[in-house]
Amino acid sequence: MNILYDDNMPYAEHFFPELGNARAFSAGHLGPQDLADCEALLVRSTSKVDKTLLDQAPKLKFVATATAGFNHLDLNALKQRNITWYAAGGCNARAVAEYVISTLFTLAEKEQFQLSRKTIAIVGVGNVGSTLSKLLNALALKVIEYDPPRALRDSDFTSASFEDVLNADVISLHVPLVNTDEVPKAHHTYHLLGENELNKLKPSQIVINACRGEVLDNEALLALANEKSQSSTKLPELLPTFVLDCWENEPYINKALLPYVRYATAHIAGHSLEGKANGTEMVYQALCQFLKQAPKTRLVDFLPAYSVDTELLAFLAQPKNRYANQTIVANCIKSLYDIENDDSFFRHHMAKSETFSAIRQNYPIRREWPAATIKIKANSAGEQVANILEKLGFSLFYDTQQAQ
């Protein structure tokens, strides 16, 4: 089988050669000469698989994307050609959930509020939403879940009301983009937060979009921000706190929004090494199934070990504030991922040119929490924080020699 795979799929060179003649390509550089003999095309979201591309690939039998989302695949065109397709749903669910939680801990430290007193609304309880809910519930935080379509198909699931969502302290968006006649209009997610909904939000609320840009009406948000800025010089006090990882019209986003967004990133919430590599492995397994071959290669054999500087974290100094444990956990999380770094990098480069796609494609390695081992002192304070860190998935090493 002739296989073409995106060169931005981690470890692809280890997975696919055993299944046929496998060659890498760079997104945006697929030509007729590459596609003429291609039988399996393995992409990421930066490659649009539409009728134009399919017309150049007469031998194509299998298409897969190593991403959870599949808006870049023309499913109707694939169906017309009787081409089997696959998307790696859930591959980066933990990465996105960690992005949201790390953002909340960062905001809590900056604004000096206690997360345990906040109600967090998860909008969309699929792979990502469920993972986020599990982690937040493990931390004993107050979570409400909104997903009417799931409630219809799952008798064990009860959805909150949308009014509950709009009244929550934190609104975290994790729905697919749905805007087709095949789905009831009540379940459409295009501009789920539109002009009407945005105007109902209070300045004290936090809104995080880490799903699809079109779920939040960017133009309505900009209009609201402009309206508020004309009525007051204290704009941050009049708008909710917005954290946008996903934007309308990517990669050509409306940069006029940037001054009104607390944290802005380039659709990288799911871009952990594990999240991207999981996508590669899931596509490999799907292709094995398509070819009726037993999988022989495993991701665990390639992921590098990771360690956090044991002199950096946890109990070198007990924070002197009323949220001591929260501060320690925030520092541990920040050692693996600091959204402020991504925000600063994004703003700096987007101010100079249209670099959204380049930022995504060249995003540095980020590891997930279970890859890290943190040294903990064996004392009573350490036990409290250790319990929190274990629930988040960190591996712990108890340093009994330095116990006090």
* Radius of gyration of the chain, Cα coordinates, nearest whole angstrom: 22
Contact between 151 and 175 under an 8 Å Cβ cutoff? The reply is: no
336: part of which helix (H) or strand (E)?
A: helix 324-336
2 membership: H or E segment, kind and range: strand 2-6
Length of the chain: 404
Q: Residue 27 contacts by C-beta under 8 Å, 6 or more apart in sequence?
A: 6, 8, 43, 44, 46, 47, 361
Note the maximum CA span of the chain.
70
| Catalytic position from the list 39, 195, 250, 390 | 250
Signed CA dihedral, 168, 172, 175, 179: sign only: positive
Q: Which of 94, 150, 212, 262 is catalytic?
A: 212
Question: Sign of the C-alpha dihedral, residues 164, 139, 176, 354?
Answer: positive
Catalytic status, residue 250: yes
Helix 324-336 vs helix 380-392: angle between axes, to the nearest 10 degrees? 50
Q: Is 348 tagged catalytic?
A: no
Smallest CA-to-CA distance from 160 within 172, 170, 145 is with 145
Cα–Cα distances in angstroms (integers) from residue 124 to residues 90, 167, 213, 219, in the given order: 13, 16, 14, 23
Active-site choice (174, 267, 271, 367): 267
Burial class (CB in 10 A: 0-12, 13-18, 19+), 31: exposed
Token reading at 134? 């599990």
Q: Give the single-character DSSP code of 259.
A: G
Are 257 and 244 a contacting pair, CB within 8 Å?
A: yes
Catalytic, 195? Answer no
Which structure tokens are listed for 182?
A: 């095949």
What letter represents residue 101's amino acid?
Answer: I
Q: State the catalytic residues.
A: 212, 250, 267
